[in-house]
Amino acid sequence: MPVTEALSGAVASTVQLIALATVLSIIVGVAVGMTTALRQYSGYDYTVTFFAFIFYSLPIFWVAVLLKEFGAIQFNRFLAEPIIPTTTAILLALGLAAVVTGIVGGGLKTRVRAFVSSLALSGLLIFFLNITQWLKYPSIGTVGVVLLTLLAAGVVLLLSIGFGIRRGVIIVGGMAAVAGAMWLPGQYFFFYVPGALGIFGWIAIMTVIGVALGLLLGGDARKEIARAAGVTGFFSGIIMVIDEALQYWNTYLDLIPIQNGFISTIGAVTPSVKRQENMWLDLA
């Protein structure tokens, strides 16, 4: 293989990894930073700060080895029979409940109510994932897009204009209904506009719809509402892109040769996937 050809494949994979890491770090960093700022000097704030210093001080090469082992090899073995064990499910539910309780804050009664509610919801979610085998056959669908967009709308409202502006709540929350209505047109859009242009184009369309609704129906607070609705539309577009990629998940699993957690590749490429020339399979 010519050196230039080998370099081109390596550069493409490197850019993909760097882009994904940058986007995830921005999203997670901003979300955690905003929630800790809302609960400044709380136990949640001190805990996040403590672990932030620990993770920041860890050697990168050591973290890379751990990620390769547990985020790739062990995860691939888990995908062979993706059932969350009872002990792990309990620990996950307790951890999520503790995080939610720290974010919510408030008095003892509020904290207890938040802990119990989040613990029950986390347990039900894990039970649902195991019963439906969602981890083995993942999908979002129209209902999932609506619910996840509604969740995103709630977070955006909480961190921006709040729930006091009734018109803003209706418009930003209404983006969930818009996302549900746009799910089917989105399928046609992804079919006729393939590649990165289709992905970024659809996210831009959903963002523009949110901004337009805010400007047209937002009244006196139209700028603030348009901003919140646009951000919600942006996240709904991302959710719909993920939904489209998940539709190829089973095809992807059929194509990749997994042997004891290892995927056979040539360089940075899985030949059986590359031969399909399907961007969604590359994303999966």
Q: What is the pLDDT of residues 27-69, one digit of tens each?
A: 888 878 877 887 788 777 888 888 888 888 888 888 888 888 8
Of 37, 246, 242, residue with least CA distance to 149: 242
First to last CA, the chain: 27
Decide if 242 is inside a domain.
Answer: yes
Residue 123 and residue 90: Cα distance in Å, rounded?
7
Domain count along the chain: 1
Decide if 217 is inside a domain.
Answer: yes
Tell me if 195 sits within 8 A of 216, measured CB to CB. Answer: no
Decide if 235 is inside a domain.
Answer: yes
Rounded mean pLDDT, 98-111: 77
Which tens digits make up the pLDDT trace of 111-126? 888 889 889 998 898 8
Residue 42 and residue 200: Cα distance in Å, rounded?
38
Which tens digits make up the pLDDT trace of 183-226? 999 999 988 888 788 899 999 999 999 999 999 998 888 899 99
Q: What is the pLDDT of residue 213?
A: 94
Tell me if 228 sits within 8 A of 156, measured CB to CB. Answer: yes
Decide if 149 is inside a domain.
Answer: yes
Domain containing 205 equals: 140-246
Residue 283 and residue 141: Cα distance in Å, rounded?
18
The phi and psi torsions of 259 (rounded to 5 degrees) equal -125, 105
- Residue 195 Cα to chain centre, angstroms: 20
Q: Residue 262: helix, strand or coil by DSSP?
A: strand
